[in-house]
Structure 1
């Protein structure tokens, strides 16, 4: 998977012969989260849809083929208050 100059590589091989171990969420900050959501929403298992979060970001989450949760986020610009 590639977006701009960021690339995540998934393999079909079980290189470490270990069960899935990450119980957290991997967050990836991107410039235009709404545009990326439109590109992947029908191609991925959506963990939560695109939404404005109380802590100031706009994000959505997917589950990958190994059961990991990946969140794509766009932090709101500071208001200068």
Structure 2
């Protein structure tokens, strides 16, 4: 195995892209390539790649994909300069848990994205 890139199902692609741009992600590719009715997008920030897709785009092929908003998924994202990143976004997002030192040597905080998913950001001591 070489990498893992989650494909997260969302209700509103444009709102999702805007939210993740706020976190410093850039859009690498979309389907379709242009237009307002996007059904899929790939975004990156450093070595982190996340794909987003609308439910409707796969409803016929994979009807097993369903959920209610939020819950059941937490993305754990490692980064450097966690305090600076937290200060940059804390007033623009829903913070679930502020900066906190863990027993396993990390500093972490958690937010909720526009789809109800939880993102935990962490910086581990060297």
Which category of TM-score, normalised to the shorter sequence, fits these structures?
A: 0.7 to 0.9
Hey, which of these two has a bigger chunk of helix by percent? 2
Extract structure 1 runs of 4+ deviating beyond 6 A: none
Say if 2:119 is the partner of 1:75: no
Structure 2 portions without partners, runs of 5+: 1-19, 26-44, 60-65
Q: Could you tell me how far apart the structure 1 residues matched to 2:106 and 2:124 are?
A: 4
Q: Number of aligned residue pairs: give it.
A: 76
Say if 2:100 is the partner of 1:30: no
Using CA pairs under 8 Å that are at least 6 residues apart, name the structure with larger relative contact order, 1 or 2.
Answer: 1
Deviations 1:13-42 (A, max 9, x none): 544563247514211000111010001100
TM-score, normalised relative to structure 1: 0.74
TM-align CA RMSD = 2.3
Could you tell me how far 1:8 is from its partner in structure 2?
4.5
Instruction: Please say which structure displays the higher CA radius of gyration.
Output: 2
Say if 2:122 is the partner of 1:65: no
Structure 1 portions without partners, runs of 5+: none
